[in-house]
């Protein structure tokens, strides 16, 4: 708790890095995210918890521009993401170039790492900085090596992902996201596909990033992590944020029946 208070006091500014305004997502006739508002300040760590099918991944995928909202607006660093209406009156993105520029501000770490299997660790990390951020290869390699050294993975730089443990692969995936120097980093259940003994090293890396002031949105089933590291916790159910507060407010809430039901479902 003291560390959390210290982070909250010193790291979080009142500059929104990201804002969602009345964001909805409908697949066919099913609305999976209902008119949701959300913003995150620079340096803030927000965890999103909730049952399967609540719409947590759908929300993250819209923030990372992997999915176009059915309605609403997204602002990244106060700039609205430029969508246009197509002939069928659906929102679509403006251009591939603009899309990759905006997306580079929002890093994403997936449950299944999503590393390129045929590229080495180093090539996985420099791909985005070179091709999207237009860094020189030399500078991208220098930065990648610095990041890898910081997480103790420099000696793996010429390995292929298949040669690494799941925990190491996920730490490479986080490093790859960091190499783009994103304004905000999204995690979608980053430890869910890891063997239990490998979860700790990934959570430790994420905790360190949080302490260094990285702005993070973390969808997780790791309640201990959510409780200890987050400045704010959102609880989603059926496409809506139905509870929101500091980790104490959420985890020590005595009077919210939905939260109580969710927490008891986790304990089996």
Ligand X SMILES: Nc1ncnc2c1ncn2[C@@H]1O[C@H](COP(=O)(O)OP(=O)(O)OP(=O)(O)O)[C@@H](O)[C@H]1O
Residues that bind Mg ion (CB under 5 A): 57
Shortest spacing between CB 73 and Mg ion, in angstroms: 23
By CB under 6 A, name the one of 11, 40, 45, 58 that touches ligand X.
58
- Interacting partner of 264 out of Mg ion, ligand X, none (Cβ under 5 to 8 A depending on kind): none
Which CB sits closer to Mg ion, 57 or 215? Answer: 57
- Report the distance separating Cα 211 and Cα 45, nearest Å: 10
| Sign of the dihedral defined by the CA atoms of residues 113, 115, 120, 123, in that order | negative
By CB under 6 A, name the one of 3, 22, 37, 53 that touches ligand X.
53
Q: Please list the residues that pair with 92 across neighbouring strands.
A: 84
| Sign of the dihedral defined by the CA atoms of residues 190, 193, 195, 196, in that order | positive
Shortest spacing between CB 56 and Mg ion, in angstroms: 5
Indicate whether 52 belongs to the interface with ligand X (CB under 6 A): yes
- Report the distance separating Cα 259 and Cα 253, nearest Å: 8
Q: Contact 22/72 with Cβ under 8 angstroms?
A: yes
Which CB sits closer to Mg ion, 17 or 49? Answer: 49
Which CB sits closer to ligand X, 72 or 128? Answer: 72
- Cβ neighbours, 10 Å, residue 202: 24
Shortest spacing between CB 28 and ligand X, in angstroms: 7
Provide the 3-class DSSP secondary structure of residue 123.
helix
HSE-CB at 50 with a 13 A cutoff on CA atoms is 24
Residues listed for the chain: 268
Indicate whether 186 belongs to the interface with ligand X (CB under 6 A): no
Indicate whether 170 belongs to the interface with ligand X (CB under 6 A): no
By CB under 6 A, name the one of 4, 20, 23, 54 that touches ligand X.
54
Residues lying near ligand X in the complex (CB under 6 A): 27, 32, 50, 52-58
């Amino acid at each position: 708790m003291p560390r959390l208070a210290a982070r909250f006091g010193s790291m979080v500014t009142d500059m929104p890095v990201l804002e969602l305004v009345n964001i909805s997502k409908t697949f066919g006739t099913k609305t999976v995210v209902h008119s949701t508002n959300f913003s995150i300040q620079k340096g803030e760590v927000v965890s999103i918890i909730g049952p399967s099918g609540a719409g947590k991944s759908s929300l993250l995928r819209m923030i990372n521009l992997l999915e176009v909202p059915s309605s609403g607006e997204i602002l990244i660093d106060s700039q609205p993401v430029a969508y246009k209406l197509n002939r069928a009156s659906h929102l679509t993105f403006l251009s591939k170039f603009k899309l990759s520029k905006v997306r580079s501000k929002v890093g994403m770490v997936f449950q299944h790492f999503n590393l390129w299997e045929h590229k080495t660790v180093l090539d996985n990390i420099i791909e985005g900085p070179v091709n999207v951020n237009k860094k020189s290869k030399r500078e991208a390699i220098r930065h990648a090596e610095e990041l890898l050294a910081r997480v103790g993975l420099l000696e793996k730089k010429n390995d292929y992902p298949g040669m690494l443990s799941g925990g190491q692969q996920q730490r490479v995936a986080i490093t790859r996201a960091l190499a783009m120097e994103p304004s905000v980093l999204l995690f979608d259940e980053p430890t869910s596909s890891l063997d239990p003994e490998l979860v700790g090293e990934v959570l430790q890396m994420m905790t360190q990033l949080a302490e260094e002031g990285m702005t993070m949105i973390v969808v997780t089933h790791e309640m201990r992590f959510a409780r200890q590291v987050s400045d704010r916790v959102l609880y989603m159910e059926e496409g809506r944020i139905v509870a929101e507060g500091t980790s104490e407010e959420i985890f020590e809430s005595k009077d919210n029946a939905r939260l109580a039901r969710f927490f008891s479902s986790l304990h089996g």
